[in-house]
Structure 1
Amino acid sequence: MEFTTLLWIISIMPIAMLLFFISYLKLPSYLSAILSLGLAGFLALTVFEMQPAQMAISAGKGGMLSLYVILIIAGAVILFNIVNRAGGFDSMKIYINNLGGDRTLKLLGLSWAFSSFIQGITGFGVPVAIVGAMLAGIGYKPIIALTTVLIGHSWAISFGSMGSSFYALQLVTGLEPVRLGTVMALLFFLPIFTTGLFTVHVYGGLKAVKKEIKYVLPISLAMGAMMVFAAWMGFPHIGSLLAGLTGSGLFLAILILRTGERAELPGNVMSLKAALFPYIMLIGAVLLAQLPPIAAFLPGWELALSFPGFTTGLGFEVSPEAEFSPIGFFTHPFFFLVLSSAAGLIFYRLRGHLNSKAWKNILAESYSRANTSILTVFLLMILASLMNDSGMVYTFARGMAGFSGAFFPVISPIIGILGAFLTGSNTSSNVLFGAFQIDAATLLDHSPYMIASTQSIGGSLGSAIAPAKILMGTAIVGLEGVEGDIVKKCLGYTLISGLLVGLVVLILLQL
């Protein structure tokens, strides 16, 4: 396929339109996706010379990609609503509120570790909603509470939400998942550490950083190690969950050791163990499924479709796909989410925390919370697939690679940050820019695993400045008109973390 400057400019138009509609016109994400998909379809047909049948094949591939992620979103939201309606998160809030100790350390534990544990479970702004309100409710200034949570949990997003962002990137790029997850997890050591330091700096400045770094460093290493372990063992979808749980446990132990106090829960609320029961079941089920005897026992049933290859009128070749984006009935994260949700529903029903009709309200709440996200992911996956198969992404990547040259690894995480800022989602950023980053890496002879990782790390960090999350937080804690202030507070920290990752990758690629 021949490259021209005109084609490069045209290839940018669908993404530029999407970002313009979301950021400047403030249109809903699903409507912006529809309009951008319409433009992409028109350009694919008229400029990049795809045939209608070829466009239908590309749309089918996008639909299969979206189903993989949509199932994760649906399962994670249902599990969260079961625990929330049963009162599990209320118990967690009361327990932490009653635990005494150093306020800086408690803030760090909640906004950096505990919020990341919640991100590992469900995501979608829930950590901001729960921990932001919790911090404000126990006496921290609301703007500080929101800023520290936004920065603190931003490292956990790529492997959070049961891995939806990671799997979206892996599916769009086609990279081997275990290797991609391991490389990304190793690179996350630095952002884990910097977000911890920045969380402390927001609250207490350099004085607090000097005081608390003795906790930030070892806990960063522990959480990073858990993330690497999960990715290396082949279950990246619980990487943030395990890391956040490890960090939360370490902070809890430190607070108890330092103060000699143990928080007590009132007799009329469920115990902390009961509140965490479904998530303990989730972790246990995922870990057990990795054992060879159990893995061999589970049927290998999969849902997958095959798609033919084709060549566009401009000569861009698309390879055939046999069993494209397979969804294993007993290996997909949705299976484990359903198991733990069912166990939680039965457990809370037997304990009297849920009535016999609670499941109807849970499903209604889950649909209300997830329907727009599901629609947007579906549209964006088709948009990404169409742009990829038409040659738009390749053309865009070739132009950017030529513009940035050897310094592209430094720009790569900034592109991820930009995508998350404008779309409000690391998943959406990965879908939009994942294939582009891989094409740029190929053209510049860089490691695709390194560049794909910087894309998702940037998208993860960029969630801290996503307007959608900030607006959710300000509405919950009762702040109005301070969104710009929060963006300004978070922006510098976000860019520093992203640039540091880019520089590290640039250095590694030169060695």
Structure 2
Amino acid sequence: MIVDIFAVIPILILLIFLLLFKLPARKAGAISFLTATGISLWVFQLPLEGMVVALGKGFSLSLFVLLIIWAAVFLYNLVNEAGAIEVISRNLTLVIEDKFVQFLLLSWVFSSFLQGIAGFGVPVAIVTPILVKLGFNPFASVAAVLLGHSWSISFGSMGSSFYTIGLVTGLPSSDLAFWMSLYTSVAMLFTGFGVCYIYGGFQAITKGVPYILSTTVVMVGSMFIITYLQMMSVVSLLTALVGLVFLFFVYRKLVVPTKENYDSGINFYRGKLNLLESILPYGLIIILSVLFQLSPIQGPELNFDFPGFETGLGYIVTEELQYVTIDLLTHPAPIILISSLAGIFVYNSKQILSRTEISQVVNKTVEKCTGTTLTLTWLICMALLMMDSGMIENMAHNVANLTGQFYPIFAPFFGVLGSFITGSNTNSNVIFGSFQATVATTLGVSPAIMAAVQSIGGSVGCSIGPTQVLLGTSSVNLNGKEAYIYGRIIHITLLIAVILGMVNWVLLNTL
């Protein structure tokens, strides 16, 4: 009983200091990490060898994510210094004049398109600054992008989370793809309404109904076709691309012509750079990501392997080979840096950026990312201590035992929890994927359905992962304001998880 209580304390400490005391994430993370360290050593009897292994895993995962953060922030500072963000922002207002549609398209659909390509926080780092540059509230911008793209995460990043849930459960990919598409449809619809609510409350939801419903129908239809064709690595990419084209079409063909002084032509704004030159680095990210993912050539890899061990309470942690793999061709950071170098070349050739200004870009990046690095490392190391000491396993079994036949309602919350503590849908699936399938078998229901709701719950849960929130705040100079982001988003995320749980319960009791 005492062990059960102690298992939840690190997460409670994190939530209390973030949401009630409104401490910056770096301080709340440090306190939670120290709490988790003490509990794992003295209550869960994690051996010193195990602590070293857990921290090693934490540092390796931190490295994987931090490389992306540093590269993405550097790229943003670079294009902003060159005036490219201004050009992109001005032209977006010319193409889509309605501020509400701008907000919806960027935070709900365009960010999901980027998630389909790269993921790992890239949509948050890229889209949030664009929204702020367009004049939207920074807090609303961070919250909307975090929530808006979360529906696409399970099929995003070239299918990494999808392949992971298949590997850890051993379930057929066709079964998983169908049920994951069904739950993704639910998440897609309600994250769209959530973005509307963040923009302007229930009044904005009313305004957004025709956009959300029509675009969701088109994207859902596309998604089922793509999964039926077994094109798993590009499900989110192509689904969101169809949504982008459709939403733009709806606005330009159905909304704009009803306005006075309608002019079907667009005179694009040009500053020191034209629009194509401004979006060059981002376009290269898309092109290189697709090319490298589809290329048969294996790039140089940095692999991290860790031994297994057993805790004093008998919890066994298996050996991990290639626990973290940083592929220099497919990892987002090298792709972002290559795109940044191409941008520097273009900006230099047009005499827009001097060496002094590039040095300023580097200095701004270091200043912005240093605190983020510390916070992220605290949080991920805390998560790994909880995982490898058996705390997460303990919590999962207790909830399953308490809920019994009503467990399907709570199933998506394990996905949310896994993504919250690790910041990753993939890691959430690693932690809870097999467990969810096992519980389903015990209850006599479909393991594929339960695994699917696990993954989509984890997908939506990424919207409140401290590492993701931290990335969003750091991209628009809101460092230390993470609690205010949670105030705008956490209730919406949990409501969507409840809806997923209810759908899951109905499905499993009717099939």
TM range (shorter): 0.7 to 0.9
Deviation at 1:149, TM superposition (A): 7.8
Query: Residues 313-365 of structure 1: CA distance to partner in whole angstroms, max 9, x if unpaired?
Result: 21111111223222222232222222222222212222333223333222222
Query: Match for residue 93 of structure 2?
Result: 97
The count of corresponding residues between Structure 1 and Structure 2 is 483
Contact persistence 1:304–1:325 (CA under 8 A): yes
Query: Match for residue 265 of structure 1?
Result: 268
Deviation at 1:441, TM superposition (A): 5.3
- Change over 3 Å in CA distance of 1:494–1:316 after alignment to 2: closer
Unaligned runs of 5+ in 1: 137-141
Query: Match for residue 361 of structure 2?
Result: 362
Query: Match for residue 50 of structure 1?
Result: 46
- Change over 3 Å in CA distance of 1:377–1:311 after alignment to 2: same
| Equivalent-residue separation in structure 1 for 2:166 and 2:3 (angstroms) | 22
Query: Match for residue 208 of structure 1?
Result: 207
Query: Match for residue 278 of structure 1?
Result: 281
Query: Match for residue 80 of structure 1?
Result: 76
1:134 aligns with 2:137: no
1:385 aligns with 2:384: yes
1:156 to 149, 162, 165: 149
Query: Match for residue 60 of structure 1?
Result: 56
Query: Match for residue 453 of structure 1?
Result: 455
- Is the deviation greater in 198-207 or in 33-42? 198-207
CA RMSD of aligned residues (A): 4.6
Contact persistence 2:109–2:149 (CA under 8 A): no
| Equivalent-residue separation in structure 1 for 2:208 and 2:435 (angstroms) | 40
| Equivalent-residue separation in structure 1 for 2:64 and 2:99 (angstroms) | 41
Where 1:505 maps in the other structure, the secondary structure is helix
Unaligned runs of 5+ in 2: 258-262, 442-446
Deviation at 1:18, TM superposition (A): 1.7
Matching residue's letter, 2:64: Y
| Equivalent-residue separation in structure 1 for 2:310 and 2:251 (angstroms) | 62
Within 5 A, what are the aligned runs for 1:50-449?
50-99=46-95, 105=101, 108-114=104-110, 116=112, 122-124=122-124, 127-131=127-131, 134=134, 136=136, 150-151=143-144, 154-157=147-150, 175=168, 187-197=183-193, 199=195, 202=201, 204=203, 208=207, 211-212=210-211, 215-221=214-220, 232-234=231-233, 239=236, 246-258=242-254, 259=257, 260-291=263-294, 294-296=295-297, 298-299=298-299, 301-414=300-413, 427=423, 435=431, 439=435, 442-445=438-441, 446-447=447-448, 449=451
| Equivalent-residue separation in structure 1 for 2:228 and 2:182 (angstroms) | 10
Contact persistence 2:4–2:394 (CA under 8 A): yes
| Equivalent-residue separation in structure 2 for 1:64 and 1:9 (angstroms) | 29
Contact persistence 1:116–1:244 (CA under 8 A): yes
TM-score of the pair, normalised by structure 2: 0.76
- Change over 3 Å in CA distance of 1:431–1:40 after alignment to 2: farther
Deviation at 1:369, TM superposition (A): 3.0
Contact persistence 2:428–2:458 (CA under 8 A): no
Matching residue's letter, 2:131: V
Contact persistence 1:397–1:437 (CA under 8 A): no
Deviation at 1:288, TM superposition (A): 1.7
Query: Residues 235-289 of structure 1: CA distance to partner in whole angstroms, max 9, x if unpaired?
Result: 78xx46x655554444334444343523323443422222221121111112222
Where 1:306 maps in the other structure, the secondary structure is strand
Where 1:57 maps in the other structure, the secondary structure is helix
Where 1:322 maps in the other structure, the secondary structure is strand
| Equivalent-residue separation in structure 2 for 1:210 and 1:255 (angstroms) | 14
| Equivalent-residue separation in structure 2 for 1:249 and 1:25 (angstroms) | 44
Deviation at 1:73, TM superposition (A): 2.1
Within 5 A, what are the aligned runs for 1:27-42?
27-42=23-38
| Equivalent-residue separation in structure 2 for 1:234 and 1:110 (angstroms) | 22
Matching residue's letter, 2:458: S
Query: Residues 97-156 of structure 1: CA distance to partner in whole angstroms, max 9, x if unpaired?
Result: 2346666655543453345557767345764553255255xxxxx6xx975884476131
| Equivalent-residue separation in structure 2 for 1:34 and 1:272 (angstroms) | 43
| Equivalent-residue separation in structure 1 for 2:178 and 2:41 (angstroms) | 39
- Change over 3 Å in CA distance of 1:13–1:214 after alignment to 2: closer
- Is the deviation greater in 494-503 or in 270-279? 494-503
Where 2:330 maps in the other structure, the secondary structure is coil
Query: Residues 406-441 of structure 1: CA distance to partner in whole angstroms, max 9, x if unpaired?
Result: 333433445666898xx7x98279868973676465
Contact persistence 2:114–2:122 (CA under 8 A): yes
- Change over 3 Å in CA distance of 1:277–1:475 after alignment to 2: closer
Where 1:261 maps in the other structure, the secondary structure is coil
- Change over 3 Å in CA distance of 1:150–1:263 after alignment to 2: farther
Percent identity (aligned): 25
Deviation at 1:48, TM superposition (A): 1.7
- Change over 3 Å in CA distance of 1:106–1:436 after alignment to 2: closer
- Is the deviation greater in 195-204 or in 320-329? 195-204
Query: Residues 64-93 of structure 1: CA distance to partner in whole angstroms, max 9, x if unpaired?
Result: 222222222222222222222222221122
Contact persistence 1:193–1:217 (CA under 8 A): yes
- Change over 3 Å in CA distance of 1:74–1:195 after alignment to 2: same
- Change over 3 Å in CA distance of 1:65–1:166 after alignment to 2: farther
Where 1:357 maps in the other structure, the secondary structure is helix
Query: Residues 361-386 of structure 1: CA distance to partner in whole angstroms, max 9, x if unpaired?
Result: 22222233333333222222222222
Matching residue's letter, 2:36: A
Deviation at 1:206, TM superposition (A): 7.2
- Change over 3 Å in CA distance of 1:127–1:459 after alignment to 2: same
Contact persistence 2:219–2:240 (CA under 8 A): no
| Equivalent-residue separation in structure 2 for 1:252 and 1:58 (angstroms) | 47
